[in-house]
Copies of this chain bind each other. A is one copy, B any other.
């Protein structure tokens, strides 16, 4: 392939072609917390950003729903509610309105017009990632979305570029600060879920309607994007097996702690080999050994733990949400798409999604279970349970039995905690069903997966 032209500097060429000093225009869709933060930075740090980019960035307008609302630091004349008009002459479109529509249509029309697009819209990406990438590729412009995955934590670039010559085998992420804070407080204070949630809401760590967070939907959207990036396979949120944290009890956490574990809501993306070869993406509360780097990620912090063939284990840690951290990621993307436009070239889809390997159901996954049973406290029960496990081909790593108070029916009860070795999810699920049906088993108190060990 021919070497790039001329021994003139990029600057000289740019100046010669009169692009260097020409400004890049930006249309910002959304005037919420992040949008306002981004707008203010674009206006206040204009000089530093121009230096970083090699050309001035001009914020043309900020598209908002409510024109009446005051937005400190953003001049009134920049505000508009006419999105289509705002897009018309924008080199770069920053979409921070969230939700599927009209965000999707606006991004598609911006890409079709040849604008580069930066978005933090995880819900949209988790649904329409391949479509948006194709549109960007079609116009040979960039689509960036670092802020959509883990706030300020760079994870898109590491997966896309840094590890492009390696083979990622697994990604495990704590990607939702609200649930991490709630689980943290339950563990620290011994609170039950309801109380921890209320406190999180009072402190503003959880929204009035916390469903998206506590049911694991926010994490699932991020898991879909991470899996698509890590394995270049189109994974949508519908492919992600999701379990939230509403079923996590103070008792489960106490039991976990007693055995050297902490409970974390994990988004897990895994490449599976063998006859069940494919990609798995799942979200559930799991037991993580206290020794694992993810175990010490506390409060509203996020972390993404990546395993690759050559690189080994990597972890990226930081603030996964909030106006300032998210705007930091958005502006990083803005600067890099702007640099790309200054320097020319045919653009580059921010990620490649190819298909090929299939997305697997949870049943195909190999994992470990911790099964907590309430059983009749009499001889032979442990044996019966062991027989059931053996019959399902599940081998026991650890079993511990502790006496409970005798129940109303006068039958003495015990709590039996079983940690299994790795087995197929389907076999483990079947095992739990069979155990639940045993006379000797009064109830299945909890079933948790053990990860990262």
Contact = CB atoms under 8 A, between A and B. Distances in A.
B314 A152 contact: yes
A5 to B, nearest CB: 8
A213 B6 CA distance: 42
A313 B317 CA distance: 8
A41 interface: yes
Contacts of A325: 310-312
A10 interface: yes
A114 B10 CA distance: 12
A105 interface: no
Given A14-B346, A345-B340, A158 B166 contact: no
A185 B25 CA distance: 56
A136 B14 CA distance: 15
A133 B154 CA distance: 24
A312 B317 contact: no
A324 interface: yes
A343 B5 CA distance: 14
A180 interface: no
Contacts of A19: 1
A341 interface: yes
A164 B9 contact: no
Interface stretch (A199-207, A329-337, A428-436): A329-337
Nearest to A152: B311
B310 A152 contact: yes
A248 interface: no
Interface in A341-381: 341, 343-349, 352, 354
Given A23-B1, A52-B352, A328 B166 contact: yes
A319 interface: yes
Contacts of A293: 296, 317
Contacts of A341: 1, 4
A165 B49 contact: yes
A22 B1 CA distance: 6
Interface stretch (A138-146, A250-258, A272-280, A414-422): A138-146
Nearest to A19: B1
A308 interface: yes
B310 A10 contact: no
Contacts of A131: none
B154 A154 contact: yes
Contact of A158 (B154, B308, B333, B334): B154
A348 B3 CA distance: 14
A1 B116 CA distance: 12
Contact of A312 (B308, B314, B318, B336): B318
A260 to B, nearest CB: 16
Nearest to A89: B3
Nearest to A55: B1
21 contacts: A1-B23, A3-B114, A4-B114, A4-B347, A9-B140, A41-B165, A51-B354, A146-B162, A152-B311, A164-B339, A165-B328, A165-B331, A166-B332, A293-B296, A312-B318, A312-B319, A312-B325, A314-B319, A315-B315, A340-B345, A343-B346
List 9 A-B pairs, minimum CB-CB distance, nearest first: A345-B345, A165-B331, A3-B114, A154-B162, A310-B328, A164-B335, A152-B311, A314-B318, A311-B328
Interface of A: 1, 3-11, 13-14, 19, 22-25, 37, 41, 45, 48-49, 51-52, 55, 91, 112-115, 137-141, 146, 152-154, 157-158, 161-167, 293, 296, 308-319, 322, 324-325, 327-336, 339-341, 343-349, 352, 354
Given A3-B141, A4-B341, A311-B318, 17 more contacts: A1-B24, A3-B91, A3-B113, A3-B115, A4-B139, A10-B348, A41-B165, A52-B165, A146-B162, A152-B314, A154-B161, A162-B332, A166-B328, A310-B324, A313-B319, A316-B317, A343-B348
